[in-house]
């Protein structure tokens, strides 16, 4: 999936108990076509947002899912056994379609959810302008029974994914709910500092699924009104926010506020540890907005203010609620992409020729031997190729567990120390650095530091 935004999320989990018997546990089952799963997510940029996953098709072995976060709509297609991973046969992210293939056959064993199962292998991803070879390790860790506010006690299997490509890596932990045929929550982290947590808040289109008895909001008993504490104030939404019929995540959505919308609330109500603000609507009714997606109107913004229109009047026209249209931003579904650094413009002629050479190899128009020789000729020496090969070898040794993190860092430092103005011309060094970062063999920080040294020598 994918990531952004701001505020605190409220966990859908109240407690968990480890279950030792295996009688009630079974393998993965496909979610029904037409089902929708709504997740409350938070990201490392202090952002709360909502994602709605809609099952467009489900034939028992392959799923096509659309994901809607209110801003983007993406989709992915994958075998059922890969539901809890970032691997997708096909996917569309931000208007760009990509595919993944060469998926190891042993990954099919994930569908059995056998505790202790561990599967590793390489998966190739083809994007519009690049080809990545991911090294995956997938594990089935354990079972537990988890209480969810919307569905009560659920049988959950925890799975873990670790993947690498050159110096980029990410980790994903997923809790798959057997009764829901879909993940209940997931946590994602990567080497770029991205962190995303998503938890299921509601689901539609499921049959035979338990529903938890949820506590009533104050004053919501039959024939009574919700007791709102009067506290008129101006607020603004810090993300796209839902307006609900009652102060509950399970209540019907009756409207939506765009990011940065200023509103006048009449007060608040506290329900099960969550605060909801009461929003008077144009039709005389009252809607409720979760406090985690609102801030005082004059509080400093953590996200860019929308290029929008003037603040609405005291009773803003709330957009009618549309049925959630699926999209995909997430962790669990689409291969999360490492940001592609922008290379420096130095040594443009050589750099362009290297790109053309790479394209010839990609199209299989030249042999590997011809590629390596021509590359050495363009760079003026074999140093670039040697350093790149050493970095690849060190990365592989670390992924395979042949060296520990301390040895890995020390080995990389030794290799990168060879990129200096004493051993190579500054222009050659800049070309080399561009080449290494384009292959994602060095980080942005390493690239910037070494590039500054080379520029000082010009």
pLDDT (tens digit, 0 to 9) for every residue of the chain, 458 residues total? 433 222 222 222 222 333 333 445 678 999 999 999 999 888 876 567 888 999 999 998 999 999 988 778 999 999 999 999 999 999 998 889 999 999 999 999 999 999 999 999 999 999 988 899 999 999 999 888 888 777 888 899 999 999 998 888 899 999 999 999 999 999 999 887 788 999 898 888 887 766 554 444 454 444 456 888 999 999 988 777 788 888 887 777 788 787 788 999 999 999 877 889 999 998 888 999 988 888 888 765 444 333 333 333 334 444 444 333 333 344 444 333 333 333 333 344 566 677 777 777 777 677 777 777 776 666 654 455 578 888 888 888 877 778 877 788 888 888 888 888 887 878 788 888 888 887 778 887 788 888 888 887 77
Distances (CA, A) of 386 to 81, 351, 353, 355, 439: 40, 18, 19, 18, 14
pTM of the model: 0.53
Q: Say what the pLDDT of residue 348 is.
A: 42
**The pLDDT value given to residue 244:** 86
At 305 the pLDDT is 36
Answer whether 152's CB lies under 8 Å from 177's CB. Answer: no
In this prediction, residue 16 carries a pLDDT of 31
How far is the CA of 174 from the CAs of 103, 159, 254, 333, 424, in angstroms?
Answer: 20, 5, 31, 11, 47
Q: Let me know: does 436 contact 457? Beta carbons within 8 Å.
A: no
The residues, ordered by sequence, that sit 6+ positions from 11 with a Cβ below 8 Å of its Cβ are: 199
pLDDT score, position 213: 46
Q: What is the 3-state secondary structure (H, E, C) of 120-188?
A: EEEEEEEECCEEEEEEEEEEEEEEEEEEECCCEEEEEEEEEEEEEECCEEEEEEEEEECCCCEEEEEEE
Burial of 104 (0-12, 13-18, 19+ CB in 10 A): middle
pLDDT of res. 334: 38
């Amino acid at each position: 999936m994918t990531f952004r935004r701001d505020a605190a999320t409220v966990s859908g989990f109240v407690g968990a108990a480890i279950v030792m018997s295996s009688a009630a546990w079974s393998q993965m089952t496909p979610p029904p076509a037409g089902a929708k799963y709504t997740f409350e997510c938070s990201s490392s940029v202090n952002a709360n947002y909502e994602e709605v996953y809609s099952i467009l098709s489900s034939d028992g072995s392959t799923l096509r899912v659309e994901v809607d976060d209110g801003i983007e709509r993406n989709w992915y297609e994958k075998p059922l056994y890969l539901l809890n991973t970032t691997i997708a046969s096909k996917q569309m992210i931000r208007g760009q379609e990509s595919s993944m293939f060469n998926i190891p056959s042993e990954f099919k064993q994930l569908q059995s959810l056998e505790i202790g199962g561990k599967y590793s292998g390489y998966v190739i991803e083809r994007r519009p302008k690049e080809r990545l070879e991911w090294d995956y390790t997938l594990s089935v860790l354990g079972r537990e029974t988890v209480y969810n506010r919307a569905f009560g006690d659920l049988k959950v299997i925890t799975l873990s994914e670790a993947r690498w490509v050159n110096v980029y890596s990410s980790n994903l932990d997923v809790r798959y709910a057997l009764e829901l045929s879909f993940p209940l929550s997931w946590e994602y982290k990567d080497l770029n500092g991205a962190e995303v947590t998503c938890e299921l808040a509601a689901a539609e289109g499921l049959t035979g699924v338990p529903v938890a008895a949820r506590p009533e909001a104050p004053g919501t008993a039959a024939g009574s009104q919700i007791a709102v504490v009067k506290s008129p104030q101006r607020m603004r939404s810090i993300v796209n926010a839902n307006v609900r019929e009652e102060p509950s995540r399970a209540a019907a959505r009756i409207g939506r506020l765009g990011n940065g919308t200023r509103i006048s609330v009449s007060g608040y109500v506290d329900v099960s540890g969550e605060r909801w603000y009461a929003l008077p609507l144009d039709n005389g009714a009252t809607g409720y907005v979760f406090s985690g997606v609102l801030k005082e109107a004059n509080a400093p913004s953590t996200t860019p203010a929308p290029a929008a229109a003037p603040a609405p009047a005291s009773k803003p026209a709330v957009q009618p609620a549309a049925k959630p249209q699926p999209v995909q931003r997430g962790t669990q579904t689409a291969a999360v992409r490492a940001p592609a650094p922008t290379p420096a413009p130095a040594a443009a002629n050589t750099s362009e020729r290297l790109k053309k050479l790479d394209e010839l190899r990609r199209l299989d128009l030249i042999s590997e031997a011809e590629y390596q020789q021509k590359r050495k000729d363009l760079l003026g020496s074999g140093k670039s190729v040697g350093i790149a090969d050493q970095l690849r070898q060190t990365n592989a040794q670390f992924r395979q567990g042949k060296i520990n993190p301390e040895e890995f860092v020390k080995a990389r430092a030794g290799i990168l120390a060879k990129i200096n103005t004493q051993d190579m011309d500054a222009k050659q060094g800049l070309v080399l650095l561009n080449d290494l970062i384009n292959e994602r063999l060095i980080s942005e920080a390493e690239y910037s530091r070494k590039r500054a040294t080379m520029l000082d020598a010009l």
